[in-house]
Amino acid sequence: MSTIEKLQQKLIRGSRLNYSEVRLLLKHLGYVLARQKGSHEQWLKNGRTFTLACHGKDAPHYILDSLRKLYEEIHG
């Protein structure tokens, strides 16, 4: 099982992810880092924006919920 597959399973199960893991999943979903100002990162794909506010070690539930929704839209 690859690293991406392990991260996808963590996301689906609702486990905590740190910000570097979230960034890997965003890259895998085809998003690119468009800009960064302070701790806020803007990721883009086909005109859609995903804002990642990096405060602390682990990503909060609302970011993981948004990422899970994106993953389900793309992968079903």
CA–CA distance, 50 with 12 (Å, rounded to integer): 19
Q: Mean pLDDT, the chain, as a whole number?
A: 95
CATH homologous superfamily of 3-75 equals Hypothetical protein. (3.30.920.30)
Does residue 16 carry a pLDDT above 80?
A: yes
Q: What's the confidence (pLDDT) of residue 74?
A: 85
Closest CA to 17 of 64, 55, 73: 64
Mean pLDDT, range 57-72, rounded to an integer: 94
Does residue 44 carry a pLDDT above 90?
A: yes
CA–CA distance, 17 with 1 (Å, rounded to integer): 18
Three-class SS state of 8: helix
Does residue 76 carry a pLDDT above 90?
A: no
Mean pLDDT, range 41-70, rounded to an integer: 95
